[in-house]
Amino acid sequence: MKLSTITSRTLLAVSLAFASTLVAVVPAQAAAPMQHKQVAGFYRTMIGDYEVTALHDGGGLIDSNLLHGDPALIQSLLARSFESDPKNVSATVQGYLVNTGSKLVLIDTGSGGHWGPPTLGNLVQNLKASGYKPEQVDLVLLTHLHGDHAGGIYKDGKRVFPNATVMMKKADADFWLSKEIMAKAPEDAKVFFKIAQDGAAPYMAAGKWKTYEGMDEIAPGIAPYAIPGHTPGHTGYMISSKGQSLLVWGDVAHVGAVQMPHPEISIVFDSDSESAVKTREALMVKLATDKTMIAAAHMPFPGLGRLREADNGVGYDWVPVTFFNLK
Determine the residue with CB nearest Zn ion. Answer: 146
Could you tell me if 314 and 71 are in contact, meaning their C-beta atoms sit under 8 angstroms apart? no
Residues with Cβ within 8 Å of 4's Cβ and at least 6 positions away in sequence, in order, are none
Task: Examine residue 251 and tell whether it contacts Zn ion (CB under 5 A).
Answer: yes
- In the complex, least distance from residue 144 CB atom to Zn ion, rounded to whole angstroms: 6
The residue count of the chain comes to 327
Question: In terms of CB distance, is 159 or 234 closer to Zn ion?
Answer: 234
- In the complex, least distance from residue 152 CB atom to Zn ion, rounded to whole angstroms: 14
Count, residues near Zn ion per rule CB under 5 A? 2
Write the CA distances from 174 to 231, 274, 307, integer angstroms.
11, 21, 33
- In the complex, least distance from residue 229 CB atom to Zn ion, rounded to whole angstroms: 11
Among the listed ranges 114-122, 144-152, 210-218, 219-227, the one in contact with Zn ion (CB under 5 A) is 144-152
Among the listed ranges 81-89, 119-127, 140-148, 155-163, the one in contact with Zn ion (CB under 5 A) is 140-148
Residue 67 pairs in a beta bridge with 267
Question: In terms of CB distance, is 150 or 246 closer to Zn ion?
Answer: 150
Question: In terms of CB distance, is 57 or 251 closer to Zn ion?
Answer: 251
Residue 52 backbone phi and psi in degrees, to 5: -115, 125
- In the complex, least distance from residue 149 CB atom to Zn ion, rounded to whole angstroms: 6
Question: In terms of CB distance, is 56 or 230 closer to Zn ion?
Answer: 230
- In the complex, least distance from residue 96 CB atom to Zn ion, rounded to whole angstroms: 15
- In the complex, least distance from residue 88 CB atom to Zn ion, rounded to whole angstroms: 19
- In the complex, least distance from residue 279 CB atom to Zn ion, rounded to whole angstroms: 13
Among the listed ranges 20-28, 37-45, 139-147, 318-326, the one in contact with Zn ion (CB under 5 A) is 139-147
3-state secondary structure the chain: CCHHHCCHHHHHHHHHHHHHHHHHHCCCCCCCCCCCCCCCCEEEEEECCEEEEEEEEEEEEECHHHEECCHHHHHHHHHHCCCCCCCCEEEEEEEEEEECCCCEEEECCCCCCCCCCCCCCCHHHHHHHCCCCHHHCCEEECCCCCHHHHHHHEECCEECCCCCEEEEEHHHHHHHCCHHHHHHCCHHHHHHHHHHHHHHHHHHHCCCEEEECCCCCCECCEEEEECCCCCCCCEEEEEEECCEEEEECCCCCCCHHHHCCCCCCEECCCCCHHHHHHHHHHHHHHHHHHCCEEECCCCCCCCEEEEEECCCCCCEEEEECCCCCCC
Question: In terms of CB distance, is 47 or 91 closer to Zn ion?
Answer: 91
Question: In terms of CB distance, is 172 or 251 closer to Zn ion?
Answer: 251
Question: In terms of CB distance, is 146 or 208 closer to Zn ion?
Answer: 146
Binding pattern for the stretch 87-126 against Zn ion, x by CB under 5 A and - elsewhere = ----------------------------------------
- In the complex, least distance from residue 327 CB atom to Zn ion, rounded to whole angstroms: 35
Among the listed ranges 1-9, 63-71, 191-199, 244-252, the one in contact with Zn ion (CB under 5 A) is 244-252
Question: In terms of CB distance, is 56 or 146 closer to Zn ion?
Answer: 146
Closest CA to 265 of 283, 249, 253, 282: 253
- In the complex, least distance from residue 82 CB atom to Zn ion, rounded to whole angstroms: 25
Question: In terms of CB distance, is 111 or 126 closer to Zn ion?
Answer: 111
**Residues at the interface with Zn ion (CB under 5 A):** 146, 251
